[in-house]
Structure 1
Amino acid sequence: MKRLLSFFICLVVLMFWSSCRKDFDFSPSKGNLKFAKDTVYLDTVFTNIGSSTYNLKVYNRSDDDIVIPTIQLENGVGSFYRLNVDGSTGLEGPQEGKFFEDVEILAKDSLFIFIETTIDIETLSASDTQFLYTDRILFDSGNNQQDVDLVTLVKDAVFIYPNRDEDTGIIETLTFDVDGDGTVDETTLQGRFLEDDELTFTNEKPYVIYGYAGVDTGKTLTMEPGTRVHFHADSGIIVTDGGTLNINGELSTDQDVLENEVILEGDRLEPIFTDVPGQWGTIWLFNGSLNNTINYATIKNATIGILSEGNQAAANDKLTITNSQIYNSSGFGILGRATSISAENVVVNNSGQSSFAGTLGGKYNFVHCTIANYWNNSFRQFPALLLNDFILDENGTAITNDLTEANFTNCIIYGNDNPEILLEDEGSVFNFKFTNCLIRFNNSNLEGTGNYIFNDITFYEDNVFNLDPDFEDPFENMMRIGADSGANGLANTDFNFLNDILGVSRNVPEPDSGAYESVVFDED
């Protein structure tokens, strides 16, 4: 009886409450909507690549529950934009995402409109390499109509991607001699080798690469000044046995635009992705590739900026890199494995592990380089600079190889951890030397032992330790040094290059260590 009475009371209360509600009495909109913004700028996209999702908040400031009779795109079903209004895609069929009817907003409430676009630039202009595409969201009609503008810059590009089998949907993978036994091997790397007419990248249009673009035996991929290369996720360049990569950038007059540098980065152009690490794979200089050169390049937001393997004893260095910057690598900036690298006026910063790692021995000569690591996205296991002469096999057994030479001269090796060098010797030849470098190393447990006997001029000569490098803003990859830098006047002129990475004449007879000559920073 008590249960029945309780149920009856609840039913009466519910009926009374429902009869008093006015939530379902919606009045037509009177054109008094308010918007979080009057224009939604969808940042630059490549033709036929979908944008990120943007949002617009729409407010009903009135005391009445209202209904908006229609929300639609002015360009109708032909619009390249698509909308989602508070989780609804609108009418079905061709008008889906384009047209919405009787959209309700409660008093003093709001709704979200989500906006995306995918645009084919060829339908807009056959001749332009970029096009400003616009549309409007229309709210209601007649005298009550309100609108919000939509604006997107669309860029044309050269797209390089592997083939897909129409029947199976399987994407093409690279096949080449992986283990050097003369037999072609299947790999799991999605991609294809570049055709002969694709082996010169120019500055006419940006390049967008899906999968790995391969450089085959006897082929050379050349990138001319001003080239822009954008990589999709898990993509990159692989230079196989007998292939060569030449990146031929030049000094730019505008350091904000870098008009003459070759820039390699991810394919998301929105500002939020500008400094996001790990957006693409790597530039992979595979074992047997030769005479690779990189000059005036910016390589950013990769998993590994450059991965160089093998060719340690080649007559010419496997890789010569000059006047270049590598930033925001989620793993390593430069990773060498039993290889040979020569670097001059190079800056590497912000790496999830090491900015430079020479592993399994090798041959390395770095002069006037800034090897820094101010990574703050997560914990990192390794210092800015790592050298070792081994790798561990699947059983944890060390496989060793000689470190025939590793010379760092007139360099800055620094970061936000301590120490910023790690030298791991498993008993092979382990030749290294730091000369006229500014180094962060303040560890009493290691100093004076093993490879860290800093008064032994066989390995260390005229270095300074733990002085402030006075970087402009290392967390933002602004690596110039100021007037108070501990690297000022430190360089050895016997190894001096006339100009720094910006083309500034070095201060002879007292040049600075690192890739930059010092400057006086603006106070603001």
Structure 2
Amino acid sequence: MRHILFCGLALLLALATGCDPDRDFLTGEAVNLRFELDTLSFDTVFTQRGSAVQLFLVYNDATDPIMIDRVAVAGRTGVTFNFNIDGTEGPEARDVVIWGKDSIFVFVTAEVDPTAPENISPFIAEDELIFETGNFQESVVLQAFGQNALYLNGFNRGTFFQPICRDGMFTLPVDLPTVIYGSMVIDSCVVQVLAGSRLYFHGGIQKNTELLAGSGIFEDGFIYTLPNGSLQLLGTAEDPVILSTDRLEEPYRESQGAYRGLIFGPLSKNNRIEYAELNNAIAGITVDSLAEVSIDNTVIAFTSGPALSTYQSDVTVRNSLLHSSSGNSVQVVKGGSLTLEHTTVASYSGSDNVALFLLNDIPQCEDNCDPTPLTVRIRNSILSGFDGSELAFGDVTGGSDPRFFDVRIENSVVRTDENFLNAGLGGYPDFYTTICRDCYNLQFDDPLFVSVRQDSFQLDSLSVARDLSVFLPELPTDLVDYPRDTDTPDAGALEYQPEG
């Protein structure tokens, strides 16, 4: 019935605007089209295989009639978009006429199978309806929801929204994935993401001059906590919480910079990340002034910037793996407190970045400013990568006041070179006696992981990280819940597991 109505209405409109074949029409680049809208959105959340119909107008503001050479859907997504323009049904229409000072209707349908695999039918399906005249192309963007999911912000890209909290709590569903189109701001609320939940971000560069000063251009796709807001990702070893781009096709699995990431704003407390996987962000986790975050049994991977970036904040990371970051994997700027225990930081992506960057910068102020105190404690961890030194320290006091640059590393694998240790270059010649105790300085030919190329960061049977650490009773099992040796555990997030 819907198809009959669709075609019948289009036919009536076509008859009402019949054309004279002897007329001369503007064609090619002489055609100037005006569209009622630039994006056509199907905002239905499909619960079964279904079709929705939308329409828009195309205008000819010129006095002379025009002829559009070709209209077609680009066909860039698993969702099927069909159209009918002035009585001609797709997949292609040619020689479409619009009389002078007139317009025509375009009807578009979206057919969705929400049970199709997510790598075939994306959550946010975007395509284009292309209008060709000569060598010139114009288009209208087509958008539809391609999967059953909780779409928290509809199609409102570039906007900020708050979850509706009850009794100070908001819990995302486990039975359906959650898609964030835009960015979530948490205020006076604890947002909990439970074991098995999947959270997908659309992301992209956006502009919002109403809420942001200056140009208003920003990277979309983030969760931001205000001082009275908290975020808790509460996965388990069997059912971790998954965060990634909403493009799940295989080519996007290791993509970087698809969305901004998690941002814990100034003074935000009670933030916990347990058994989670964060992939494809610009910066996996950013922690701002005086915010507090604990990160346990978590993987942060495939970021175009740092996996973890902190500013005068208090961050604890345990039993976690950070890899495939094109920026500094872990960077601490303007002081603060950082604890790493049984954490593997593998910095093997790109160049001019390191596994660990530390700086006790001087904040902007009027007169006689002191540097920001920096306290770092690292135990039983791995800080590795391709560079000669995977550590970069910036102590603005020049070592004159150890209260402002207090760094201790124990029972860990690190990589340093002569430049890092050279006192004449501002290095740390006593690094292995006063800062890094019972540490191993990784050489390029040392065995460490099973395969960096395959992102397999299990320890090799001959790994230099084996038996290097001291047992920590609070961390008896590793990232994947495998028990650690209680006498001589291995450094890093993953305890060596014999084959078989």
Residue 471 of structure 1: which of 419, 437, 449 is its match? 449
TM-superposed CA distance for 1:129, in Å, is 9.5
Percent of aligned positions that are identical? 23
Does structure 2 retain, via aligned residues, the 8 Å contact 1:347–1:370? yes
Corresponding position: 1:400 with 2:371: yes
Paired residue for 1:236?
Answer: 222
* 1:190 Cα deviation after fit: 2.7
Displacement after TM superposition at 1:475 (Å): 3.6
2:470–2:487 Cα contact (<8 Å) kept: no
Matched, 1:271 2:250: yes
Note the 1:481-500 alignment, pairs <5 A.
481-494=459-472, 497-500=475-478
Q: Is the 8 A contact 2:328 2:355 kept in 1?
A: yes
2-structure distance, mates of 1:232, 1:222: 20
Q: How does 1:168-317 map to 2 (within 5 A)?
A: 190-196=159-165, 199-217=170-188, 219-233=189-203, 234-252=220-238, 260-311=239-290
1:479, CA displacement in angstroms? Answer: 1.3
Shift, 1:276, TM fit: 0.5
Q: Which residue of 135, 149, 153 corresponds with 1:157?
A: 149
User: Within 2, Cα distance between the matches of 1:469 and 1:393?
Assistant: 45
**Distance across 1 between alignment mates of 2:385 and 2:263:** 26
- Which residue does 2:384 correspond to in 1? 414
Find the aligned partners of 2:411 and 2:373 in 1 and give their Cα distance.
25
CA distance in structure 2 between the aligned counterparts of 1:285 and 1:445, rounded to whole angstroms: 32
8 Å CA contact 1:47–1:118 kept in 2: the answer is no
AA in 2 matched with 1:297: A
SS at structure 2 position matched to 1:272: helix
Deviation of the 1:307 alpha carbon: 0.3
Alignment match, 1:98: 91
Look up the match of 1:442.
417
Classify the secondary structure of the residue corresponding to 1:251.
Answer: coil
Matched-pair contact (CA < 8 Å) for 1:129–1:157: no
Q: Which amino acid aligns with 1:235?
A: G
Q: Tell me, in whole angstroms, the C-alpha distance in 2 between the residues paired with 1:119 and 1:457.
A: 67
2:486 and 2:190 mapped to 1: Cα distance?
Answer: 38
Cα separation, 2, equivalents of 1:408 and 1:439? 11
The letter for the 2-side match of 1:485 is S
* Equivalent position amino acid for 1:202 in 2: P
Alignment of 1:105-124 (within 5 A): 119=110, 121=112
**Which aligned pairs between 1:320-331 and structure 2 lie closer than 5 A?**
320-331=294-305
Letter in 2 for 1:452: Y
In the alignment, the residues of structure 1 paired with residue 362 and residue 388 of structure 2 have an alpha-carbon distance, to the nearest angstrom, of: 24
Which whole-Å deviations, capped at 9, do the CAs of 1:162-194 have from their partners, x for residues lacking one?
786xxxxxx7xxxxxxxxxxxxxxxxx731111
The aligned amino acid for 1:412 is I
Deviation at 1:95, TM superposition (A): 4.9
Report the equivalent of 1:353. Answer: 327
Q: Between 464-473 and 329-338, report the one with greater CA deviation.
A: 464-473
Structure 2 partner of 1:15 = none
> Contact (CA 8 Å) 2:81, 2:111: kept in 1 or not?
no
**1:459 aligned onto 2:422:** no
Residue number among 321, 326, 343 corresponding to 1:369 in the alignment: 343
Aligned partners of 2:391 and 2:416 also within 8 Å: yes
1:283-330 residue CA offsets vs partner (Å, 9 max, x unmatched): 000001101000000001100000001227xxxxx1111000000110
C-alpha deviation, 1:399, in angstroms: 7.8
CA deviation vs aligned residue, 1:243-275 (integer Å, no higher than 9, x gap):
1111100002xxxxxxx0001011112111111
| Contact in 2 for aligned 1:300/1:328 (Cα 8 Å) | yes
TM-score, structure 2 length as denominator?
Answer: 0.66
| 2:333 maps to amino acid | T
- CA distance, structure 2, for counterparts of residue 278 and residue 399 of structure 1: 35
Cα distance change of structure 1 residues 398 and 350 upon mapping to structure 2, 3 Å threshold? farther
Cross-structure match for 1:386: 357
1:205-263 per-residue CA deviation (whole Å, 9 max, x = no partner) reads: 1111012111102x1000010000000112110111111111100002xxxxxxx0001
Note the C-alpha offset of 1:476. Answer: 3.7
Q: One-letter code of the match for 2:171?
A: T
CA contact (8 A) 2:419 2:427 kept: no
Helix, strand or coil at the partner of 2:450:
strand
Shift of the 455–388 alpha-carbon distance from structure 1 to 2, 3 Å rule, reads: closer
Code of the aligned partner of 1:211: G
Equivalent residues of 1:162, 1:192 under 8 A apart: no
What does the per-residue CA deviation read over 1:1-56, in whole Å, with 9 as the maximum and x for residues that have no partner? xxxxxxxxxxxxxxxxxxxxxxxxxxxxxxxxxxxxxxxxxxxxx968xxxxxxxx
Shift of 1:477: 2.7
Describe the SS at the equivalent of 1:375. Answer: coil
Residues 411, 163 of structure 1: alpha-carbon distance in 2 compared, 3 angstrom cutoff = same
Cα distance in 2 for residues equivalent to 1:496 and 1:469: 28
C-alpha distance in 2, partners of 1:293/1:337?
Answer: 18
What is the aligned-residue RMSD (CA, Å)? 3.5
Structure 2 match to 1:25 = none
Matched letter for residue 331 of structure 1: G
Alignment-mate amino acid for residue 161 of structure 1: N
**Residue 503 to residue 163, structure 1, CA distance change in 2 (3 Å):** closer
Change beyond 3 A, Cα 1:426–1:156: same
Which letter does structure 2 place at the counterpart of 1:425? D
Gap change, CA 1:384 and 1:456, over 3 Å in 2: closer
Any conservation in 2 of the 1:472–1:521 contact (CA below 8 Å)?
no
Deviation at 1:442, TM superposition (A): 2.0
In 2, the alpha carbon distance for the partners of 1:283 and 1:211 equals: 13
> Is the CA contact 2:266–2:289 (under 8 Å) kept in the aligned structure 1?
yes
Q: Post-superposition shift, 1:203?
A: 1.7
Aligned amino acid, residue 390 of structure 1: D
Aligned equivalents of 2:92, 2:283: Cα separation in 1: 45
Q: In the superposition, relative to structure 1, how do residues 486 and 156 fare at CA in structure 2: closer, same or farther (>3 Å)?
A: same
> Residue 355 and residue 80 in structure 1: after superposition, are their counterparts in 2 closer, same or farther (change >3 A)?
closer
What secondary structure sits across from 1:493 in the alignment? coil
CA distance in 1, matches of 2:159, 2:306: 22
1:242·1:289 contact (CA, 8 Å) conserved in 2?
A: yes
Residues 494/346 of structure 1: CA separation in 2 closer, same or farther (3 Å cut): closer
Amino acid of the residue matched to residue 280 of structure 1? Answer: Y
Compared CA separation, residues 196 and 216, structure 1 to 2 (3 A): same
| Amino acid across the alignment from 1:157 | A
1:124-176 residue CA offsets vs partner (Å, 9 max, x unmatched): 68xx797999xxxxxxxxxxxxxxxxxxx952111122786xxxxxx7xxxxx
